[in-house]
Amino acid sequence: MRLTMLPDTRSASAPDAPCIADASTTLSNNEFQTRVLAAAGAFASRGVGTGDVVALMLPNQVEFAVAMFAAWRLGAAVTPINPGLTLKEASHQIADSRTKLLVNGSGESVVAGRARHSGGGTAGWSTPRRRTCK
Question: Residue 1: what pLDDT?
Answer: 66
Q: What confidence tens digit (pLDDT) does each residue in 50-95 have? A: 999 999 999 999 999 999 999 999 999 999 999 999 888 999 999 9
Residue 130 has pLDDT above 50, yes or no: no
pTM score of the predicted model: 0.81
**Residues of the chain with pLDDT > 90: what percent?**
69
Helices H / strands E in the chain, number of each = 4, 7
Q: What confidence tens digit (pLDDT) does each residue in 6-26 have? A: 999 999 999 999 999 999 999
Asked if residue 43 is part of any domain, the answer here is yes
CATH code of 94's domain? 3.40.50.980
When pLDDT is cut at 50, 70 and 90, the band that residue 133 belongs to is: very low
Strands 53-57 and 18-21: unpaired
> Which amino acid appears at position 110 of this protein?
V
Question: Residue 105: what pLDDT?
Answer: 81
Total structural domains within the chain: 1
Q: How many residues does the chain have?
A: 134
> Which amino acid appears at position 130 of this protein?
R
What domain range is 33 assigned to?
Answer: 3-128
